[in-house]
Chain A
């Protein structure tokens, strides 16, 4: 256990890093605590940035997670606008971009992820945006106020959320997606289809199995995009939302194992006992899939791993075994997911898939692995519990809407 004389350094002041810091104090850690983040403001939450922030329901003050007073009271040194350039593992020291070295007894990497870019993307082109930070969100909101022709590249959560907001504002919105359906990587075809329908009802158009090969400009300002079939679409705003890559450079140059994320064990430790990794940047053994290594991008994952590492560093068992959950708000509908499915997992529909309210239970070799719910929070909650308790209701039972899921949990 780390005592009063020790130093824990957390690199990355997003939701995971902040949670680790505040949980360490909640768990009674009394040593020095440093939270280093490359953004200049107080730590904030990202999920509202593609939702209520764009609609104007919330502003920057509403997404701040902790105010400066908190850091004073909790005795957490928050180094904002600072970057870590290297880790020297033998001497347990970090080097900061501003010069000084910082010694640590334990280092938590919560470096998050960054947005993937299109090969043809020109960073300086006016009107081509991506969304990750509060600054990005401010810029996007400004542009959305006047944009008339919006092209969203990527039909994942982020692209679809922003597309809904742009459509509500009256813009003509086209989503260009490389695969043949929405959220292809993470949901069943049934849920993809339902959301396609919801978006189309709002006037959003899709171009599936399509790729943007060029972005055209007029006097430094975006004028349109060109697809692989040669067609050109005019646009005064292009949002690139084609996923993220984990920030692993620091770990990799320190010689830690990296494979689609910083590889950690079931207690979120790297092979260096003094270094752990949490959140978007960490590839961890998934407790519900025989320890298969996965990497997740969600608030639940960042927060729960932050709490988990704090427990371990203060004497707890520290095994990470939470059921992953995700949610998205699009076209006035809510998608909630519990668990993680793969593309070829079987889909069992509960409810009417032609309606705006149903759930899909995903099975792999006869075992329940994931529950996707549209506007059905009770199914979602039950899905979480079934997965947590490793219950395995038969597909026949879950497909029968008259069957009470609570009974399945009680009798399992």
Chain B
């Protein structure tokens, strides 16, 4: 597993989501869909590192570009 030098903070824009559900296919540990209208909801917004690839994949694949994953530089622990 790749060691990332950043922390990922995930956010979603429910106004532009079209409920395609591709994010849930990428990882249902981070994304879910609201029961009433299929709009994306977050299971967690600071996912563990082992899910980073899947989260970034979900960001790329979202057809309405409703997901953002901000990469926050980690504090250097060795410093």
Q: A58-B65, A303-B22, A381-B19 are in contact. Are A66 and B57 (CB under 8 A)?
A: yes
A52: Cβ under 8 A from any B Cβ: yes
A334 / chain B contacts, CB cutoff of 8 Å: 18
Q: Is the CB of A52 within 8 A of B38?
A: no
SS of B interface (majority)? loop
* Residue in B38, B61, B64, B65 whose beta carbon sits within 8 Å of that of A380 in the complex: B38
Interface residues in B, total, Cβ within 8 A: 15
CB of A383 to closest CB in B, whole Å: 10
Q: Does B4 touch A at the CB level, under 8 Å? A: no
Which residues of chain A are within 8 angstroms of B63 by Cβ–Cβ distance? Answer: 45, 47-48, 299, 327
B36 touches A45 (CB 8 A): no
* A64 surroundings in chain B (CB, below 8 A): 60
Contact B60 A384, beta carbon cutoff 8 Å: no
Find out whether the CB atom of B60 lies under 8 angstroms from the CB atom of A380: no
Residues in A292-350 with C-beta less than 8 Å from chain B: 299-300, 303, 307, 325, 327, 329, 334, 336
Q: Does A377 touch B at the CB level, under 8 Å?
A: yes
The minimal Cβ–Cβ distance linking A310 to chain B, given in whole angstroms, is 12
A-B contacts, CB under 8 A, total: 48
> B39 contacts which chain A residues (CB < 8 A)?
377
A64 to B65, CA, bound (A): 12
How far does the Cβ of B35 sit from chain A's closest Cβ, in whole Å? 8
Contact of A377 with B20 in the complex, beta carbons under 8 Å: no
Determine whether B37 belongs to the interface, using a CB cutoff of 8 Å to chain A: yes
Cβ-based interface call for A65 (8 A): yes
Complex-state Cα separation, A303 to B21, whole angstroms: 11
Q: Which residues of B contact A124 (CB under 8 A)?
A: none
By DSSP majority rule, is chain A's interface helix, strand, loop, or mixed? helix
Contact of B38 among A48, A58, A377 (CB under 8 A): A377
Say if the beta carbon of A378 comes within 8 Å of chain B.
yes
Q: Is the CB of B61 within 8 A of A381?
A: no
Q: Indicate if the CB atoms of B65 and A57 lie closer than 8 Å.
A: yes
Given A65-B60, A381-B37, A336-B18 contact (CB < 8 Å): yes
* Minimum CB distance partner of B59 in chain A: A62
Docked-complex contact B18 and A327, CB < 8 angstroms: yes
Residue-wise, chain B 13-25 has the 8 Å CB interface mask toward A (1 for contact) of 0000011101001
Check B18 against A381 for contact (C-beta < 8 Å): no
Contacts of B64 in A (CB 8 A): 47-48, 327, 329
Q: Using Cβ atoms and an 8 Å threshold, which residues of chain B touch A58?
A: 65
Which B residue sits closest to A69, measured CB to CB?
B53
B6 to chain A, nearest CB (A): 16
Q: Return the CB mask of B31-67 against A: 1 if under 8 Å, else 0.
A: 0000011110000000000000000010011011100
Q: Are B36 and A378 in contact (CB under 8 A)?
A: yes
Assess the A48–B65 pair: CB atoms within 8 A.
Answer: yes
B20 touches A299 (CB 8 A): yes
Q: CA–CA, A64 to B60, complex, Å? A: 6
Across the two chains, which residue of chain B brings its CB closest to A307?
Answer: B25
In the complex, what's the smallest C-beta–C-beta distance from A97 to chain B, in angstroms? 29
**A47-B63, A66-B57, A66-B60 are known contacts. Are A380 and B20 too (CB-CB below 8 A)?**
no
**Which one of B25, B38, B57, B65 lies within 8 Å of A62 (CB-CB)?**
B65
CB distance from B25 to the nearest CB of A (A): 8
Most buried by A among B19, B39, B63: B63
Measured in the bound complex, the distance between the Cα atoms of B38 and A70 in whole Å is 28
Contacts A325-B20, A381-B36 aside, 18 further interface pairs with beta carbons under 8 A come to A45-B63, A47-B63, A48-B64, A52-B65, A62-B60, A62-B65, A65-B61, A300-B20, A303-B22, A307-B25, A327-B64, A334-B18, A336-B19, A377-B37, A378-B36, A380-B19, A380-B38, A381-B37
Residues on A lying within 8 angstroms of B by beta carbon are 45, 47-48, 52, 57-58, 62, 64-66, 70, 299-300, 303, 307, 325, 327, 329, 334, 336, 377-378, 380-381, 384, 406
Q: Could you list 9 A-B pairs, sorted by A, with CB under 8 Å?
A: A45-B63, A48-B65, A65-B60, A327-B63, A334-B18, A377-B37, A377-B39, A380-B37, A406-B36
Q: Which 8 A-B pairs have the closest CB atoms?
A: A377-B37, A378-B37, A381-B38, A327-B18, A381-B37, A47-B63, A378-B36, A299-B63
